[in-house]
Amino acid sequence: MNEKIFFDQAKQLYQDNELELIKKAYLFANRCHIDQMRESKEPFITHPLNVALFLMKMNLDATTIVAALLHDTVEDTCIKLEDIKKEFGNEVAKLVSGVTKLKQAVIYQENIKSYSAENIRRMFLAMAQDIRVVLIKLADRYHNMATLDYKEPKKRLEKARETLDIYAPLANRLCMGELKGQLEDYAFPILMPNEYNWVKGLTQKKIEERKKYIDKVIIDIKRKLKKANFKYIDIHGRAKHYYSLYKKLLRNNKNINEIYDIVALRIIVKDIPTCYAVLGLIHQNWRPLIGRIKDYIALPKTNGYQSIHTTVIRPDGEIIEIQIRTATMHEEAERGIAAHWQYDELGKPKNPAKLPAEKIAWIKKLTDWQKELPIKNRSEKFAESLKIDIFKDRIFAFTPKGDVLDLPENATPIDFAYQVHTEIGHRCKEVWINGHIASLDYKIKNGDVVNIVTSSIAKPKRDWLTFAKTSIAQSKIKDWFKKVDKDKNIAYGKRILNIELAQLGHKPIETVPKTKLSNALQKLNYHDLNGMLAALGEGEINLNQIIKAIYEEKEFLEKDDKKFIFFKKEPQPRAIISETGGFLTKIAKCCNPTINDKIKAHITRSEGASIHKYNCPELLKAEQGRIVDAKWDTDLKENFHAKIEVESLNRIGMIKDISTLLSNFNINIENFHSKQNPKKDTFILCLHLEIKNLDQFFEVLHEISKIEGIIDVRKV
């Protein structure tokens, strides 16, 4: 790239003192990268120069341009951040530091087909602190994608996947429509070469023909506007980006004839009244298609996009889409959030870091919400939420008072209710959509008026989690049940933990020394034992994590599902106790019987059955009534039989809900019967089940307890 082009552009935008700083930054960066080359064999300085020019064309402030020129110096040269701060000031240093951290964070790893949740979270935190960090990163990604052909195939795939899944949707959320389209079109042929070639082959000739036709239509429109004495700023055609076209073809059964904006016509005018006046003129001359008029001026898209779209039929039978907007709207549609930089009366940047609050409200809301997440698994939960809350298409819906709520596509009234207020969500009784009663799992459509009816006695239902789409709604519902079920979860967590400890030859959790327990709680980020037990009961943490935190000196082997623990030694043989089934067994350490020894079992009060050699001296010390016959289980079958009782409210569908849950666990119901409990107006369902193992047994008990109307679940 020619430095002259860069500085000629800079002279038109910046004051003398700003221009001097930009020149200083360019010379500094050039010295730092003097011996470095890019894969294209060009001098390395061409990259930061192109990044800075990209941002300069967006009219960003001089500080951002300086940081863009320097953005690779700390990562790729011997320059330290302190050097940047000393030469260019604290603000530039902060921007360079932010970009450096993002550049060091590989988001997608092609070899394991996975995203780094922590690095995604870090990006949004950086964006919340100063949006310019991410704008520099987007410009950096744009130039890297433009020169991606020089990278090795694996790196190309990695960068293309990141771009399509993260950076292009992010540009769209910042209303940078043109950049979004360009990033997608760079990634498209790398990730989907066959699909790209199909779209290009299908549409290339069509686009050229369409451009010629649109040029004729433009002449006709200009003539009609002049006759009506309407002034316009610009009228031009815009071809649809290939990847956007590909997605639209999929939605239209791959029929190119059903896509009317393959080349859209844009009319740019001076103000909003003229937009509507031009719309009226267009409809007077050409018949509009019903349902294809979209007024994004009165109701902007959730990323701020404004324009009027109409699709009309011309006298020759051709159908075209026409977009009408003001110059300001066009600027925002092209440059997005960067169009909102503040300027003084001379047209120079005034306060570049200050943006309209409503334009970045979603960033603040997102970062505030992630602070509420528990430290454990925070990054994973935050990254998961982005799939719905940021990288999905957005819709808008109205409250009865006319307030607009921004929601992800396929959001339900439950999502709407919790976005209004937590208590509105908790007390949601029913919903009316556009004046008609609707189900709570209804998928809200653009422009719906949603009226949430509340009741003081209403409360969340567990099945809401199956159709709530937003992270905020799901989080609030789970929090409610955590509070309601806390005692139950503590009891359940203690029970399964003590059983597992007994299986491993340890005493109950209550007897663990305070120091050891305190260390474990600190490692797992819990304030007290009950908090940890409740989390175990709720399923937020598993037995493996707790026992490893307490007994870290042991060597453990995790099963593939990372839930159950075994020592790194040969599996202990299982014993069958002749007296009764259902006892937990462990091998006694005093005599350590093997499968070739005759054995007996000592039934203990708190730790199940202890298996000894039949002549072990310890058996002589035990109560003889607690010594029973036992033999080794050489069959090695996993399944065992269990009986449970479920006490529940007498409601329609209860038995169906329980049987469906058991079916999902692939558990066979061998027999069942029910009986009424007249004292409590409840009924008790007795079930004979074939269970795979004890872990599954306790998990099933816990899941049954979550079903609406269940009062108690117990082993018989």
Active site residues: 75-76
Closest among 608, 682, 690, 676 to 643, alpha carbons compared:
690
In the numeric block, which tokens belong to residue 424? 């509105």
Query: Is-contact 467 420, C-beta < 8 A?
Result: no
According to DSSP, residue 45 is labeled T
State the DSSP H helix or E strand holding residue 407, giving kind and residue range, or none if neither: strand 404-408
User: How far is CA 587 from each of CA 97, 282, 351, rounded to the nearest angstrom?
Assistant: 58, 87, 74
Q: How many CB atoms within 10 Å of residue 211?
A: 14
Among 75, 66, 64, smallest CA distance to 27 is for 66
- Report the 3 state secondary structure along 114-174: EECHHHHHHHHHHHHHCHHHHHHHHHHHHHHHHCHHHCCHHHHHHHHHHHHHHHHHHHHHC
605 in Cβ contact with 507 (< 8 Å):
no
Strands 263-269 and 319-326: parallel
Per-state percent for the chain, helix, strand, coil, to nearest 5? 50, 20, 30
First to last CA, the chain: 80
Give the three-state DSSP class for 457: coil
Which three-class secondary structure string do you get for 560-573? CCCCCEEECCCCCC
Q: What is the rounded distance in angstroms from the CA atom of residue 84 to the CA atom of residue 77?
A: 12
Measure CA 600 to chain center.
55
Rounded distance between C-alpha atoms, residue 7 and residue 1, angstroms? 11
What contacts 67, CB < 8 A, 6 or more positions away? 92, 95, 96, 99, 132, 136
Question: Which tokens go with 173?
Answer: 């959320």
Specify the pairing of strand 682-691 against strand 640-649: antiparallel
C-alpha 364/C-alpha 641 separation (Å) is 53
CA distance readout (Å), 9 to 58, 332, 335, 543 = 11, 21, 17, 63
